[in-house]
Structure 1
Amino acid sequence: MSPTSSVKGMVFIVLAAILWGTTGTSQALAPPESTPPVIGALRLWVGGSGLLLLSLLRQPAALLQVPLRLAVAAGVFVAAYQLSFFWGVSLTGVAVGTMVGIGSAPVFAGVIDTLFMGRKPDRKWYYATALALLGSATLLGSSGKIEINPLGIGLAATAGLSYSLYTLLMKKLLVDRPADAVATVVFFIGALLLAPFLIGSDLSWTLRPAGLAVVAHLGLLATALSYYLFCRGLENVPVATAVTLTLAEPFTAGVLGILVLGERIGPSGLLGLTLILSGLVLLALPMGRPLPLDAQRPT
């Protein structure tokens, strides 16, 4: 893997996380009739449809090359993330649920990368992850009243684990396969698993301009485009590093909360945003002079 490919991959992943960071603001602007499970299901359906169109225009035959067993497993964890995250947030609040769900993912990813990929994160990853997690915790502490619900905490942590496992499976699926084809198959499987939440639900709000704009944004930009970028980046970035980079999501959400929703943030909130950004910058910095090729070969 060349340094240029690695940097390009990290840029793709950060861009994906920035798009994910817009989802909270988008949902806050959604019609009141919308519910988290329905929004999650619509995201996967619209996003999967956008990815399918892209795959059909580029390499339709590649859709048949995606291993079904691995794709089903990845689709299960995509659906599990949606359910456990939204349910956890509803029980313990947006601030705590988001922090536990997103903040626990890099820890799980580091363990998974070591156990299943045989690749222990480097020292820089530990420092960067610690900075980003400390920043997320500081940002959480500045958000006002905090409500702790044990079941909600457990569900949010399950979301973090599901996201890490999904990332590991996607890493395996992306070997010698187009990113759009892999994401298309996985997301349609996840959408099928969440389809029951759409049965009998009031979807009339999606036909109004505000509802249509929210669904289009969440599906096409915050899902189809973001996960395409994430998969492209994951081709050249280790799992643990990729998941830590996605902590750009709470950074983006915090900034949008200030600029778009008019939320107030004090000195501790600004410190949290600065710490998150510092961790991401540290992770993107080069490690130094690489070893000669002969020294990199296992003995």
Structure 2
Amino acid sequence: MSGPSAGLTELPGSLPAPASRRRSFRRGPLPVLIAALTWGTTGTAAHFAPTAASPLAIGAVTMGCGGLILLALAGRSVLPLLRAGRRALLTALAGALCVAIYPLAFYSSMAIAGVAIGTVVSIGSSPVFAVLIERVLDGSRLNARWAAATAVSAIGVVFLVNGHHGAGDQTQSLAAVAGGTALGLVAGATYAGYSYAAGRLMRQGAASRPVMGLIFGGGAVLLLPVLVLTGGPLFQSTSGLVVSAYLAVVPMSLAYVLFGIGLSRVSASTATSLSLVEPVVAAVLSVLVVGEHLGLAAWGGVALVGAGVLLLGMSA
């Protein structure tokens, strides 16, 4: 090359140019972070739902109705995926099954064991399950920076929820803790599962819109019976209808369109780690809107999650 501006080529192992790094961040980590920000609003939104609405109903309306919207947005673009062969269909079916299980396990975990334990186990375990899935199915190696960033963020989540004090906090029985923890692990595994399934289909050449439409639309079909059985209180009042519409459109449909865009650029393990920002948003909104309290440890947790997410964003 005749000069520094002539055909800049990266050497093996060199850091990408700043402009390239910014583009990479905007196309991968940033959409996932925006999605996680919207997911963090679900708890505050659910606070305004009728008191008779169960966690199962809230989970089913969020992923069920939202999944149908994603399927409608995808439209006929899902047809090539349906004809893509047995392996692609099995991947989509596994993803849809995870989509159906996740909200039922997640919201039930919080209802049984409390928000703190439910959040820590469900959200904190998902990156671990994601990297295990990638290791077993793809032979991927553990990235040291991912491990460090995820550990920092996960510790931050623990500090956050343990320093987050709400009016309804109370000591849980051992059985409740055990049951809620088990459901939280199911939620973490299924979140990682549908993230991996979607990412795998995209890596095989499918666009994000049909992939998310097919996987979440399939999960919605599986959730509809649950919504029919439990959704009465949500649909019998104006507040319930408003909350249901918001949950289905914003933290579900819009967020998962963005999540799909991010998954086409980053791995499922990175995406699930980035989504650890969700409980931070939820906790801050609970203070600003609901009137709950964050202690010093919780604010330290916010800082740790922020540091971990920043490290992940820089490495993606």
* TM-score relative to the length of structure 2: 0.84
How big is the shift at 1:178?
2.1
Cα distance between partner residues in 1 of 2:131 and 2:184: 18
Cα distance in 2, alignment partners of residues 112 and 6 from structure 1: 24
SS of 1:247 mapped into structure 2: helix
Superposed counterparts of 1:257-276, under 5 Å: 257-276=286-305
Per-residue CA distance 1:228-273 (angstroms, 9 max, x = gap): 1111101110121111000010111111111111111121111111
1:164 aligned partner? 192
Q: Are positions 1:88 and 2:104 aligned together?
A: no
Aligned to 1:283: 312
**Structure 1 residue 36: Cα displacement:** 1.5
**Residue 28 of structure 2 corresponds to which residue in structure 1?**
9
Matches within 5 A, 1:1-299: 3-4=21-22, 6-7=24-25, 8-56=27-75, 60-66=76-82, 67-144=88-165, 145=170, 147=172, 149-174=177-202, 175-201=204-230, 203=232, 205-206=234-235, 208-286=237-315
Cα distance in 1, alignment partners of residues 231 and 77 from structure 2: 37
Give the counterpart letter for 2:129 in structure 1: F
Query: Where in structure 1 do 4 or more consecutive aligned residues deviate above 6 Å?
Result: none
Counterpart residue identity of residue 46, structure 1: C
Deviation (angstroms), 1:200 = 4.2
Q: How many residues align?
A: 284
Structure 2 alignment gaps of length 5 or more: 1-15, 83-87
Contact 1:62 1:177 in 2 (8 A): no
User: Sequence identity of aligned pairs in percent?
Assistant: 35
Q: Is the 8 A contact 1:102 1:160 kept in 2?
A: yes
Secondary structure of 2:206 counterpart? coil
For residues 133 and 5 of structure 1, the distance between their equivalents in structure 2, rounded to whole angstroms, comes to: 27
State the distance in 2 between where 1:200 and 1:104 align: 30
Normalising to structure 1: TM-score of the pair? 0.88
Instruction: Name the aligned partner's letter for residue 23 of structure 1.
Output: T
Matched to 1:40, the amino acid is G
SS of 2:293's equivalent in the other structure is coil
Higher Cα Rg: structure 1 or 2?
2
d(CA) in 2 for partners of 1:120, 1:161: 19
Compare 84-93 and 249-258 and name the one that shifted more.
84-93
Q: After alignment, is 100-109 or 174-183 more displaced?
A: 174-183
How far apart are 1:103 and its partner, in Å?
Answer: 0.4
In 2, Cα distance between equivalents of 1:118 and 1:200: 42
Structure 1 counterpart SS, 2:53: coil
Q: Call closer, same or farther: CA 1:71–1:6 in 2, change over 3 Å.
A: same
1:258–1:198 Cα change, 3 Å: same
Q: State whether residues 78 and 213 of structure 2, in contact with CA within 8 Å, keep that contact through their aligned partners in structure 1.
A: no
**Which residue pairs with 1:295 in the alignment?**
none
Equivalent residues of 1:21, 1:252 under 8 A apart: yes
Summarize the Cα distance change of 1:146–1:16 in structure 2 as closer, same or farther, 3 Å threshold: farther
Residues 5, 119 of structure 1: alpha-carbon distance in 2 compared, 3 angstrom cutoff? farther
Equivalent-residue separation in structure 1 for 2:94 and 2:298 (angstroms): 38
Relative distance call for 1:200 and 1:254 in structure 2 (3 A) is closer
The 2-side partners of 1:36 and 1:266 are apart by 27
Q: CA deviation at 1:65?
A: 1.9
Contact 1:88 1:151 in 2 (8 A): yes
> 1:68, CA displacement in angstroms?
2.7
> Which amino acid letter does the alignment assign opposite residue 158 of structure 1?
V
Shift, 1:201, TM fit: 3.9
Structure 1: gaps spanning 5 or more residues: 288-299
Secondary structure in structure 1 of the residue aligned to 2:211: helix
